[in-house]
Amino acid sequence: MSNNEDCCFAKILKVIDVLQRNAEKIDDIDNTCTRPFLGGCPNLSVFNTRPVTFYTGQNTLYTINYQSEENGVPTVASSSVFRVENVEGCCCTCQILAPNPDTTDPNRPYIATGQFATINLRCVCVIQCLPDVVVDCL
């Protein structure tokens, strides 16, 4: 049995990772019959992230601290929303997403923090996918 066969979440997160990687390359794809997605045109915003949250067996939401800056002052904030960056075996490396302080665009509710966490998927009991969004990745 391979490492991924006993870790059902790894397969789901790998699909999300592939979708996100393909979304980032949307400008490189010609508008032909072999385009690997439906809809969208260069004038429309194309989603590039499927944010996820993780829960433990005790229904506790994973929340991770990250360094932030508020009015030029370094602070510590926390988030429970992540962007999948890589999946190997039962480990998932995620970028921590923060709430977007500019809430005028409903398709951009999060910003990339540039800070990452590796999550052991054997400790996760639930993954919740949030609506697809645009995140300006660092």
In a domain, 82, yes or no: yes
pLDDT of residue 22: 76
pLDDT of residue 52: 94
In this predicted model, what pLDDT tens digit does every residue of 33-86 receive, in sequence order?
444 544 454 445 578 899 999 999 899 999 999 998 878 899 999 999 999 999
Closest CA to 37 of 77, 29, 45: 29
Total of domains in the chain: 1
For residue 87 the two structure tokens come to 């999946």
In a domain, 134, yes or no: no
pLDDT at 5 over 60: no
* Structural domain boundaries, residue 86: 8-129
pLDDT of residue 28: 56
Kindly list the distances between the CA atom of residue 41 and the CA atoms of 20, 30, 60, 110, in Å, as whole numbers in the listed order: 17, 11, 40, 23
pLDDT of residue 26: 53
In a domain, 52, yes or no: yes
In a domain, 137, yes or no: no
In a domain, 20, yes or no: yes
In this predicted model, what pLDDT tens digit does every residue of 77-132 receive, in sequence order?
999 999 999 999 999 999 999 999 887 888 899 999 999 999 999 999 999 999 88
In a domain, 115, yes or no: yes
